[in-house]
Structure 1
Amino acid sequence: MDVPGWIWTLTVIGIVGLLVFDYVFHVRKAHIPTLREAGTWSALYVGIAVLFGIGVWIFGGATMGTEYFAGYVTEKALSVDNLFVFLIIMTSFKVPRADQQKVLLFGIVFSLIARTGFIFLGAALINAFAWVFYLFGLILLITAGNLIKPEGEDSHTADNLMVRLARRFLHTSEHYDGDKLFTVVDGRRALTPMLLVMVAIAGTDILFALDSIPAIFGLTQNVYLVFTATAFSLLGLRQLYFLIDGLLDRLIYLTYGLATILAFIGVKLILHALHENNVPFINDGQPVDVTEISTGLSLTVILGVLAVTVLASLTSPKGRAQNTVSAARRHASQYLDAETDPAHREEIFRNLLVEEEQMRALPEKYRKRIREEEKLMALLRRAHEEHDALVAR
């Protein structure tokens, strides 16, 4: 179904309006969102996306509605996985908690612009070359394989090529100046680490787009649905970050679920490519009689895999242990390096004490592994030593 230009215009205006609203009323003044604020606005953005999908279903038909929801759920799941990397980047750059909102909103805007470009490029390639479906399917299968490879936190580095170039050719300061992008050091205008964080986020966003766009084109080739499902999956990502921050490390099986979904969509794309085949060295350039996977089945598989992996993560003892350790490591780092506000530092230290108590309540096999992590134990000791020194003053 062709979408009229005026609907495109209204949709873009609505999305830009939501981003402007988010900046003016939430991000412009640096603050740490409360759990209630993050939960309310996350629910609101999800509600907007669902209402939009219902509208698509009513006016575009069941097929378009199913394609939209399959695309939205897949992109939302991938965006949650991206939050892991955002968390690592902001921890690496020691971004103060109150200033993280600005970084996240920038990441969302840049991601939306980058993915829109990839969407129209992908649509043009699909219209011109049928073999692109083979390429997209292969990309997703390779990505799925890479996701299930064992990796540590260091596998997602904040020091990517764009950051290295910025550090080399631009004058940068070592310290933040609130959430400003520029400051003055020794009489010279300099970039703050805040700008470098945004550069790092931008670099990773481009890599994310290379995975997510082939995935959604495997569910629908309607450019309007691809664009809107991608846009609505990104809107509200900032609020979601603060809402599930404490659960991010708990979702230990989410990566396996995403790998399964991407592999499934990759197979779906290759089957579709075979069905539409015109590549000369495959079946003499003739279509291959294969069974295609319906969008309804795709949506069922996607929802089922996500439900299983999330439930398995939340009920897993390993997940609880990993979440506690990661939270303690993050809070110790924030207490020592990132935060300067005395009241918030004290709150962070109280959280750290709770997490240390939770670690002591873990089964012995997990406590033994924690004690063997020398860097973690040294970090915790430093946090306690600094807190004791402050109390003694």
Structure 2
Amino acid sequence: MSPTTIMWIVFAALISFMLVIDLSLNRKSGRVSFKKAATWTVVWMLLALLFGGGIWYTMGQQKALEFLTGYLIEQSLSVDNLFVFIMIFTVFGVRGELQAKVLKWGILGAIVMRLVFIFIGAALLKEFQWLFYIFGALLVYTAWKMAFSGDDEIEPDKNPLVKLARRFLPMTKRIRGDWFITRRMQLWIASPLFMVLLVVESSDLVFAMDSIPAIFAITLDPFIVLTSNVFAIMGLRSLFFLLSNLMGMFAYLKFGIALILAFVGVKMILMMLGFHIPISLSLAVIVVTLAIAVVASLLLRKPETDELLETA
């Protein structure tokens, strides 16, 4: 049995086991507390590091560095995505005990979309290498937009999925804990919570279009791309509730993430021009950039952030 096959088996078993614990066993819980969110965030990060150690042992140092670099990229991009989720829940008025339910299904949907994007993207890049130029330019543009554009206001009525659903599904007028309420007169009546899920899933789709090209700048190995993505996604639910308690604490993090995206985009373009940036240097740039952004956010945080920390 090859090392890659062994790690595929380990990955499938580990993720399946953790899905049962993190999602199924917690389905009746309400809003996740700060302490619980912090604990689960640490657990998922440690599992990713342990899995990376397994890759190092079975597949070698290069693959392990690719996994860790990809994981850090996806994890950092996830932070920016979660702030968008917080805005979505605020706009729709989704209370804490229902946020976990939406995030559970949103995470599962994100994993499915990543699977599709990864295998299609890898096949296209191997067949049409000029796509690296397009993906690289897309990442640089996304970085510029993230750094210098203001926060986009969430407007559910303009979301195409919401428009489509409202066209065919009669709506209730308040948030409920169920997606569909009852079947009357041969019509399914949808709750606003279902619309929240549609907006979250459509946001996941947009995020996948940014994050997948970013990881392809590191490696085209489907195993590394998929595993690093899934480990980052699986920790999103706990990370969401952790960050929702610290909203505004990491004011400069988006600039660090934007810089990472720009670096990865330039790396992708240079790779096509014959200039190869070592994976170890890429990892160092990502770690240092995130560290500087976090430290700057903590040192320059506003007084009201300290009040949030005391009450979290």
Whether 1:200 and 2:184 are equivalent positions in the alignment is: no
Q: Which has the larger radius of gyration?
A: 1
Distance 2:306 2:196 in 1: 26
- Is the 2:169–2:188 Cα contact (8 Å) retained in structure 1? no
Root mean square deviation, CA, Å: 2.4
Secondary structure of 1:293's aligned partner: coil
Q: Which residue of 2 aligns with 1:376?
A: none
Q: Give the deviation of 1:185 after TM superposition.
A: 9.5
Post-superposition Cα deviations, 1:116-135, rounded to whole Å, max 9, x if no partner, equal: 11110111011111112111
In structure 2, the gaps of 5 or more residues are: none
Q: Give the deviation of 1:256 after TM superposition.
A: 0.9
Q: Which residue of 1 aligns with 2:128?
A: 129
Structure 1 residues 90 and 210: CA distance shift in structure 2, 3 A: same
Q: Give the deviation of 1:59 after TM superposition.
A: 1.4
Q: Give the deviation of 1:153 after TM superposition.
A: 5.3
Q: Which residue of 1 aligns with 2:167?
A: 168
Q: How does 1:1-393 map to 2 (within 5 A)?
A: 4-5=4-5, 7-26=7-26, 28-152=27-151, 154=153, 156-159=154-157, 160-177=159-176, 179-184=177-182, 189-275=188-274, 291-317=275-301, 319-321=302-304, 323=305
- Is the 1:174–1:193 Cα contact (8 Å) retained in structure 2? yes
In structure 1, the gaps of 5 or more residues are: 276-290, 328-350, 356-393
Q: Give the deviation of 1:249 after TM superposition.
A: 2.1
Letter in 1 for 2:96: R
Kindly tell me the number of residue pairs found equivalent between the two proteins: 308
Q: Give the deviation of 1:320 after TM superposition.
A: 4.4
- Is the 1:88–1:153 Cα contact (8 Å) retained in structure 2? no
Q: Which has the higher contact order (CA 8 A, sep 6+)?
A: 2
Structure 1 residues 224 and 3: CA distance shift in structure 2, 3 A: farther
Tell me which moved more, 138-147 or 163-172. Answer: 163-172
- Is the 2:136–2:268 Cα contact (8 Å) retained in structure 1? yes
- Is the 2:4–2:59 Cα contact (8 Å) retained in structure 1? no
Secondary structure of 1:271's aligned partner: helix
Secondary structure of 1:183's aligned partner: strand
Structure 1 residues 180 and 292: CA distance shift in structure 2, 3 A: same
Q: Give the deviation of 1:25 after TM superposition.
A: 1.0
Structure 1 residues 158 and 17: CA distance shift in structure 2, 3 A: farther
Q: Give the deviation of 1:186 after TM superposition.
A: 8.7
Distance 1:162 1:324 in 2: 39
- Is the 1:141–1:263 Cα contact (8 Å) retained in structure 2? yes
Structure 1 residues 94 and 141: CA distance shift in structure 2, 3 A: same
Distance 2:3 2:262 in 1: 30
- Is the 1:173–1:185 Cα contact (8 Å) retained in structure 2? no
